[in-house]
Chains A and B, each alone.
Chain A
Amino acid sequence: MGETPLWEVFIRPRNGLAHKHVGSLHGADAELALSAARDVYTRRGEGGSIWVVPSAAITASDPAHADEMFDPTADKIYRHPTFYDIPDDVGHM
């Protein structure tokens, strides 16, 4: 019999915040993974909502190619508000 599948666990501390990755665990199915996530990651009121996602379902970018991957953002300073000169007299904008 194979190894019990791995799940990534995301928890939302409270409504209004995003779910955040907190770690992973093994569970035979989604239901068991969810109940294990409650026991492992929320023993002290850390969350009001849990997502479990099969680790194998995540497609990740490769850190070795991070330079090429994120290169387009580096030289486009005109995407930032400070690129534009507005006289002080105009006031806050």
Chain B
Amino acid sequence: MYSQGLIGADGRSEETPEFLAAFQARIDAEEKIEPKDAMPEGYRRTLIRQIGQHAHSEIVGMLPEGNWITRAPSLKRKAALLAKVQDEGGHGLYLYSAAETLGVTRDEMTEELLDGRAKYSSIFNYPTLSWADIGCIGWLVDGAAIMNQIPLCRCSFGPYARAMIRVCKEESFHQRQGYEIMLTLTRGTEAQKEMAQDALDRWWWPSLMMFGPSDADSQHSDQSMAWKIKRFTNDELRQKFIDATVPQAEYLGLKVPDPELAWNAEKNGYDHGPIDWDEFWRVVKGGGPMNRERIAARRKAWEEGAWVREAALAHAEKRAARTAVAAE
């Protein structure tokens, strides 16, 4: 589902200028970097951080939607939502496996998520209060994720780019199912229309924040752009998203909750009002409405699943030992 502008990566490297220049030349020639290739430590650390954050976002992102699986309004919606949440789990796993090629273990990444060292997308720290929120997540949150992820299919690191190609193929259904939910609600009763508008009012600004801090304040952007981990800046992607989404809201007959939103013919895009970056940083740093609950849910799943992991390993060892004895 998501990837956010990278937060808190340490891109420093201590290699020689010659090594860094040779590496940069490979990047500039659009060569893909594969796991065992020599690479600057900063490149490796940045990718571990970014792919890890991305994977965690997929996994934590299952929670707000999972909240509505048992209350979906029809069997069709329930089956679609189940399939979508299962996809998010799958996306998390593709990404964890891409990160592991860089020498970090899955358990290390899980620990970093659970103890708060690793971040995940701030969007998942908002609650899903009504069924319309499920529509908005598919339409806006997955829509924003697609904007972000399509350029990542051309990321310089091979395993990340390949995982993104799979993710993007699957993501399109997510956005369409979300928009269809919104369409059904806005063609429904007054109460359903109000529910749809209320959800848009709550999800609009957090969706814009998904692209990460404004370019002026984005400390990691330049190096990531040079290494072709990123292809567009946060603000460029945010602008694309707004330009694509506003007409979709108009088609639904919904009002985007930004009084300053206006078409700017000169730049051929929309101007928008200021984003509340204080709220963004508060939520990233743990102060969102659902931060505690999300991490508590992940910790519970990890701890309560421990006996299953241990039993499966013990069983595998026992069977391997039996096979060894039988072979003697």
Do B163 and A23 touch (CB < 8 A)?
yes
Check if B129 is an interface residue, CB within 8 A of chain A.
no
Whether A26 pairs with B106 at a CB distance below 8 angstroms is yes
Q: In chain A, residues 1-29, which have Cβ atoms closer than 8 Å to a Cβ of chain B?
A: 1-4, 6, 23-26, 28-29
Asked if B90 and A39 sit within 8 Å, CB to CB, the answer is yes
Q: Which of B92-140 contact A (CB under 8 A)?
A: 93-94, 97-98, 100-101, 105-107
Interface flags, A32-46, vs B, CB<8A=1, else 0: 100000011101100
Rounded to whole Å, the gap between the CB of B6 and the closest CB of chain A is 22
Residue from the list B38, B100, B309 in contact with A6, Cβ < 8 A: B100
Q: Say whether B34 contacts A25, CB under 8 Å.
A: no
A1 touches B310 (CB 8 A): yes
Q: Is A56 an interface residue (CB 8 A)?
A: no
Q: Which of B47-55, B263-271, B312-320 contacts A (4 or more CB under 8 A)?
A: B312-320
Residues of A within 8 A of B70 (CB): none
A23/B106 contact (C-beta < 8 A), A1-B310, A44-B170 known: no
Q: Does B217 contact A (CB under 8 A)?
A: no
Residue contact B90 to A29, C-beta cutoff 8 Å: no
The verdict on A64 contacting chain B, using a C-beta distance below 8 Å, is yes
Selected contact of A43 from candidates B86, B163, B310, B319, CB within 8 Å: B86
Contact between A60 and B93 (Cβ–Cβ < 8 Å)? no
Quote the shortest CB–CB distance from A8 to chain B (angstroms). 9
Which parts of B269-328 form the interface with A (CB within 8 Å)?
309-310, 312-313, 315-316, 319-320
Complex contacts, B36 vs chain A, CB 8 Å: 60, 62-64
Are B313 and A63 neighbours in the complex by a CB distance under 8 Å?
no
From A29, A43, A44, B316 is in contact (CB under 8 Å) with A29
Q: Known: A4-B309, A4-B313. Contact between A24 and B90, CB under 8 A? A: no
**Are A28 and B94 in contact, with the CB atoms below 8 A?**
no
The answer to the question of B37 belonging to the interface, with a C-beta cut-off of 8 Å to chain A, is yes
Contact of A29 among B37, B94, B170, B315 (CB under 8 A): B315
A-B contact pairs, 8 of them (CB 8 A): A1-B309, A2-B313, A25-B93, A26-B106, A29-B315, A29-B320, A43-B90, A63-B37
B residues at A contact (CB < 8 Å): 34, 36-38, 83, 86-87, 90, 93-94, 97-98, 100-101, 105-107, 159, 162-163, 170, 309-310, 312-313, 315-316, 319-320
Other than the known A2-B313, A6-B100, A40-B93, what 12 A-B pairs have Cβ atoms closer than 8 Å?
A: A1-B309, A1-B313, A3-B107, A23-B94, A24-B97, A28-B312, A32-B312, A39-B90, A40-B94, A43-B83, A43-B170, A44-B170
- On A, residues with C-beta under 8 Å from B are 1-4, 6, 23-26, 28-29, 32, 39-41, 43-44, 60, 62-64
